[in-house]
């Protein structure tokens, strides 16, 4: 019998983002959902002699979008992202789940706040790879 090693996305160990001073803030409690991707670019090199696509793998990339609930406590989400519009700094994003860690230097491009009609106050912060290092799980 093959053991099942599938897991749910519950109980994340680490999700921290550096503030503009370079200090890691653990903000996983403020995040309600996220998405991240580690895509590779491809170049089409198909010659006219081919009947199917031929491609080369190119540069690796990383992007992340964090979504959460407004929290202006010390070293939490708002303290981490409020300087996005006024600073141009790389921020380390560290993700750990089930003993696997992915850490990347990112530039956050926006800090969007939304007060909905029902009174909820949420935020979104999109980030992209900053330093050319290949995203690698460890």
Q: In this structure, is residue 4 part of a structural domain?
A: no
Residue 13 makes CB contacts below 8 A (sequence gap 6+) with 96, 97, 98, 99
Dump pLDDT digits (tens) for 86-96.
999 999 999 99
Claim: this prediction has a pTM higher than 0.85:
yes
| Parent domain of 80 | 32-129
Within a domain: residue 57? Answer: yes
User: How confident is residue 1, by pLDDT bands cut at 50, 70 and 90?
Assistant: confident
Alpha-carbon distance of 70 to 87, in angstroms, equals 20
25: alpha, beta or left? (left if phi > 0; alpha if psi -120 to 50): beta
> What tokens appear for 89 in the block?
């700094």
pLDDT (tens digit per residue) in 14-48: 999 999 999 999 999 999 999 999 999 999 999 99
Residue 25 lies in a domain: no
Residue 137 domain-assigned? no
The number of folded domains in the chain is 1
Does residue 83 belong to any structural domain of this protein? yes
How many C-beta atoms lie closer than 10 Å to residue 89's C-beta?
Answer: 15
């Amino acid at each position: 019998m093959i053991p099942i090693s599938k897991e749910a996305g519950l109980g994340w160990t680490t999700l921290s983002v550096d503030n503009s001073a370079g200090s890691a803030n653990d903000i996983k409690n403020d995040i309600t959902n996220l998405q991240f991707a580690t895509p590779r670019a491809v170049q089409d090199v198909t010659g006219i002699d081919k009947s199917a696509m031929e491609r080369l793998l190119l540069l690796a990339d990383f992007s992340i979008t964090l979504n959460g609930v407004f929290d202006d406590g010390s070293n939490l989400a708002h303290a981490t992202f409020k300087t996005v519009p006024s600073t141009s700094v790389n921020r380390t994003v560290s993700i750990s789940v089930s003993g696997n860690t992915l850490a990347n230097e990112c530039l956050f491009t926006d800090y969007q706040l939304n007060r909905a009609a029902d009174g909820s106050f949420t935020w979104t912060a999109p980030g992209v790879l900053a330093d050319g290092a290949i995203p690698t799980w460890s």
